[in-house]
Structure 1
Amino acid sequence: MLTRPHPEATAASGLFNLIRQYAIWLVLVTVLLASVLLSLLAGYPQLSLADLYLSLVSDAQSLQQSIQKPIQQLVLTELRFPRLIAGLLTGAAMGCAGFLLQRLSQNPLTSPSTLGVTQGSALALVLVFILGIEMSPVMRFSAALVGALFAGGLLLVLMLANRQRNDTSTLILLGALMASFFAALTTSMLLLEQHAINAIRFWLSGSLAFVPAELLPVLALICLSCFAVSYLMLPGVNLVTTGEAKASSLGISPLRVYLVVLVLILLLTGASVAVTGPILFTGLVVPHLARLLVGVKASAHLSASLLLGAIMMTLADGLTRWVAPETSASPSIPMAIIGAPWFMWLVYQRYRT
């Protein structure tokens, strides 16, 4: 005989879950603030909280009187703040792109890098640079978006070809082959043009160093717009994942959902690669970790992916500059150290059953 749970036990369980959710969000926001401080203070020259405080609240005259080394103010305003903004936006962008891909494909192994979109953007930018075309902000974003569009077109064909069979394993395999092909083309072009390697070495390794300030307004516009549209698309994405026939019966066009989501992924990935270069695994690890923390509810999952993406990018950048302050170490190094084993573990967990 089935017995109903005691009302007090149900209420206590609900209260515990509510407190747990609030605690998780509080921890995420706290870690984000800590990573922001680390990103601003770490590196060479190393700055103090007093330097940061004076740069934020003092006027120019009192600032010159209070800080013994004026270069500290220049480092904050010209280097650290643009680097921080770029890290927050690109990290959140890759987290959002990975969330959309994994949500729509229902496969935790999908991400812009594992399906070749990141590598397609990088290939297009390298090609433009080798051809000697002036790399203005407009050209930089345009080339990255064209490369992402080309890779995304192939990805859309693969997604539509496999949606009836629900065979995401084939999608992952073909995406990995496409990523390897684009990476091989990029390497081949750089070997043929040796002068290009040194000129774009930092960008190719995936770096937040030397981020052009003129790129940030365009990056912010693209990212914030895509974040807003992503929230608006959540009901349609949820319906499509429960079944295309059900979505169609409720007036939702599955093909339109696929197209809009793919455009969002391409814009977010292309804009990120244009600014920071190809930083891999962020879009893979972040959505999966967010799902473990806040569950599968779409709005909470997306919000956590945005926060965790920003945290991981700024934290990785800050840690590399804290460990090696006099070098231009790339945040892609800790991301690869975390992401590669994570990817292998996901593959093992998925195909063990």
Structure 2
Amino acid sequence: MSTRMRLLMLAALLLLCAATSLMAGAHWLSPVDIWHAVWMPSATNVEDLLIRTTRISRTVLAITVGASLAVAGGILQTLTHNPLASPGILGINAGALFVVVLIATFGGFGISWSPYAGAFLGAAVAAAIVWWLAMHRATSASPLRLILAGAALAALFSAFTQALLVIDQQGLDAALFWLAGSVSGRPLDTAWPLVVIAAIGLLLSAPLLRDLNVLSAGDTVAASVGVRLRRLQALAIGAIVLLAGASVALAGNIVFIGLIVPHIARRLLAADLRVWLPGAALLGAILTLGADIAARLLIQPGEIPIGVMTALIGAPLFIILVRRQRNAHV
């Protein structure tokens, strides 16, 4: 099967998952209900209100978060030459959670958008500090320095967060959403700026793919053919901050998407980043939507955090990939 056909199949599967997401829940809806809510909404129709105020929002957010984390993970794995790299390695998750808990501790949740802005700010500041540490007295950030700086800063932010949670119980209650991960209860009229930021991050990633392709062969090879490593690293880190920062701010700590999806995309599609990274965006959106649908259906009328579902789905997939990779080299 050709690569183009596989991409088309992934796009079709994403549309199917999106339609299922709009229909699925404690109260199942029909395709006719979806059509009516989208094109002929009524202010007095309960199904229309459910779809327009809840299910469209969580579907859009799941697609945005899944695609953004997958692309951010793919870029970071290429940038660091580390197949185990994920956005959290830059301290993005830990930085976002720390600022959210800090805001909650000082009673700053009176404004509806404050946790989103705080989480994104924390993610951006963490990534900026990691970049500065990795670049200190160097012409370019080595992959090892990026990883070590990110691990150290993540540990530091996590320690600060735990200290705040011990001091203030209110901060713990506010942090539960970001710790578990969820796309529910987040209206688009509040979250849309972060969706736009994630879209900008995806657009910024596109011009970098050619140079990242060369970089995948090694820093020395990339420098020898004229790739400006420092500029490429700065732009790539900027794209990762926009993508992962917006995702963490929207949905909290969603694990395994940024780690596992790039590996699946590379196995399904061509080795060219210009092919498998868009495929990773589709796969990330599909996996996140599927996890969200399963989270709604498994323990009705309750709901499992989507972060738990992505871990339950992603961990076995990753183990299977590792075993197959090992067998291929035996």
> Which category describes the TM-score, using the shorter chain as reference length?
0.7 to 0.9
Does the alignment pair 1:318 with 2:300? no
1:135, 1:101 → 2: CA distance? 35
3-state secondary structure, aligned to 1:220: helix
Q: Is the 2:38–2:52 Cα contact (8 Å) retained in structure 1?
A: no
Equivalent residue, structure 2, for 1:41: 23
Equivalent residue, structure 2, for 1:260: 235
- Bigger Cα Rg: 1
Does the alignment pair 1:335 with 2:310? yes
Q: After superposition, give the CA deviation of every residue in 1:301-346 in whole Å (9 maximum; x if it has no partner).
A: 1101111111111110011112223113211112112334555677
- Cα offset, 1:86, TM superposition: 0.8
- Cα offset, 1:163, TM superposition: 9.8
Q: Give structure 1 stretches of 5+ with no counterpart.
A: 1-18, 65-69
Identify the range of structure 1 (243-252 vs 141-150) with the bigger mean alpha-carbon deviation: 243-252
Q: Give structure 2 stretches of 5+ with no counterpart.
A: none
Q: After superposition, give the CA deviation of every residue in 1:212-271 in whole Å (9 maximum; x if it has no partner).
A: 322332122211111111011112223344454554455532111111111111121111
Q: Percent identity?
A: 32
Question: Pick from 247, 259, 264: which aligns with 1:272?
Answer: 247
2:280, 2:28 → 1: CA distance? 30
Q: After superposition, give the CA deviation of every residue in 1:44-95 in whole Å (9 maximum; x if it has no partner).
A: 222222321222333539xx6xxxxx32221111111111111111111111
Q: 1:93 to 1:20 in 2, by over 3 A?
A: same
Residue type of the partner of 1:182? F
Equivalent residue, structure 2, for 1:129: 104
1:122-161 matches, cutoff 5 A: 122-134=97-109, 136=111, 139-156=114-131, 160=135
TM-score by length of 2: 0.86
Q: 1:164 to 1:233 in 2, by over 3 A?
A: closer
Question: Pick from 240, 254, 261: which aligns with 1:286?
Answer: 261
Q: 1:211 to 1:179 in 2, by over 3 A?
A: same
1:271, 1:297 → 2: CA distance? 26
Q: 1:322 to 1:56 in 2, by over 3 A?
A: same
Does the alignment pair 1:71 with 2:50? no
Q: After superposition, give the CA deviation of every residue in 1:114-165 in whole Å (9 maximum; x if it has no partner).
A: 4432222121122122122246466444422332233213432565589989
Equivalent residue, structure 2, for 1:119: 94
Q: Is the 1:281–1:335 Cα contact (8 Å) retained in structure 2?
A: yes
- Cα offset, 1:23, TM superposition: 3.5
TM-score by length of 1: 0.81
How many equivalent residue pairs?
A: 326
1:1-353 matches, cutoff 5 A: 19-58=1-40, 60=42, 70-134=45-109, 136=111, 139-156=114-131, 160=135, 168=144, 172=147, 175-176=150-151, 178-244=153-219, 247-248=222-223, 250-341=225-316
Identify the range of structure 1 (86-95 vs 145-154) with the bigger mean alpha-carbon deviation: 145-154
Residue type of the partner of 1:60? S
Q: 1:208 to 1:151 in 2, by over 3 A?
A: same
Equivalent residue, structure 2, for 1:10: none
Q: Is the 2:23–2:29 Cα contact (8 Å) retained in structure 1?
A: yes
Residue type of the partner of 2:302? T
Q: Is the 1:95–1:286 Cα contact (8 Å) retained in structure 2?
A: yes
Cα RMSD between the aligned structures?
A: 3.1
